[in-house]
Amino acid sequence: MQLLQQVRIIDPVQQVDQLADVLIIDGKIKLIDNQITNYPTETSIIKPQGLVLGTGLVDLYSHSGEPGNETRETLFQLSQAGAMGGFTQIGILPDTIPVIDNAEVITGIKLKGDRFNHQSNQQLTLPRLNFWGAAYSQTAHKMNELAELQPEIVGFTSKHNLSNLHVLKQILEYLQPEQKPIAIALHQNELTGNGVVREGNASIRYGMSGNPGFSEAAIIAAVLEIAAEIPTPIHIMRVSTLRGVELIADAKAKGANVTASTTWMHLLWDSNALGSYSPNLRLEPPLGNESDRIALIDGVRQGIIDAIAIDHHAYTYEEKTVAFALAPPGVIGLELALALLWQRFVQSGAWSAIELWQALSSRPRQCIQQKPKAIALEQAIDLVLFDPEKKWIANQDNLKSPAANTPWYNQEITGKVITNY
């Protein structure tokens, strides 16, 4: 039993951002009031200084090192990192070894998850894992057994370029009766060439091969044309350009059954930062130009971009300690994203706390066809207690992930999750 006195409650569903006392018993909220004076004698009283109580965060997609690359990060370490970052659900992409393309693989992963979820020495409740299934076999060049996968997953993912959109059309037609979302990864295509940074002034200045923004826009436009004809729910992953935001806004205005996400890194960095040649800024898609980043920030605030995804991807030290162009794309972020996004957008006044929580909690749930839950009495709901002022160092003493591939490694971070319910 806990009594949180004058905690800041953020509920993006009810549009609530207020100070109140909150009484929590057996993991459920028993009472919310301006001041609670009547409570059981054995209640632990917490007098938070500026603490935030919000709905649990939902990461739409991240990469698990297990199975297949456990030296990078195990599923248990990934789950611990998620819990420490305030996430109560994490989407697992199917790029494991073996690939998540049949029910047997998912069953094996779930059994591992069940074992560590029931360990009694966990400081925080570990997040629920949501699995994405691979819709198309890149090796066999055919659709996987989608019907077998459907009961076990939140949706399908598929990589597509301009040369195999006919396959996407077939997948959408097949999945339409079930109405499970398919998340589209905008795969390398003929237009990207060997580009490792977004084409523009920065690519010229830093002497690196450019990936033109229209390579993303062209395939988004093609996907949206197909989506207009086949109303299977589509989620466009990792939007990174101004033109991509414009195309999605136009499609939504016309009623397309489409949602979209960008990654937290594309909101905080742009190509002007690449002068460091840090391999921890090597992403796919690459960081956009400044105009792209500004459009993404505005797109999230307006709801054109529904969700901020973490796209957490752990690598070993050896894998990332190479030249920028040779580095595998991706960074860790589950333990860092909330704090850094809060400081950049909420603390600065650019966004309200509700706007950030919508993009990290309620709207991601809608993208995977879950109904967002409001904070209510006597209702089982995932909650997270966050201290936006607590300072800590992002290093192996404090991170649950064993990986160090982040530009914030060994730096001081302001903001930390205290616990979850």
Give me the CATH topology for the region 57-372: TIM Barrel (3.20.20)
Instruction: Say if residue 411 is exposed, middle or buried (CB neighbours under 10 Å; 0-12, 13-18, 19+).
Output: exposed
Q: Torsion-angle region of residue 274: left (phi > 0), alpha (psi -120 to 50) or beta?
A: alpha
Sign, CA torsion 364/368/374/380: negative
Q: What is the mean pLDDT of residues 316-341?
A: 97
In the chain, where are the structural domains located?
57-372
The single-letter code of the amino acid at 237 is M
pLDDT in tens, 223-280: 999 999 999 999 999 999 999 999 999 999 999 999 999 999 999 999 999 999 999 9
pLDDT in tens, 88-110: 999 999 999 999 988 899 998 88
Unique residue bearing structure tokens 């997270």: 384
- Take residue 306 and report the two structure tokens written for it: 């529904």
Peptide bond into 285 cis (omega under 30): yes
Interatomic CA distance for residues 16 and 10, integer angstroms: 6
Q: Are 287 and 412 in contact (CB under 8 A)?
A: no
Query: Minimal CA–CA distance to 264: which of 348, 187, 342?
Result: 342
Element (H, E) at 44: strand 44-46
Confidence (pLDDT) at 120: 47
DSSP per residue over 216-275, as a string? HHHHHHHHHHHHHHS-S-EEE----SHHHHHHHHHHHHTT-SEEEEEEHHHHH--GGGGG
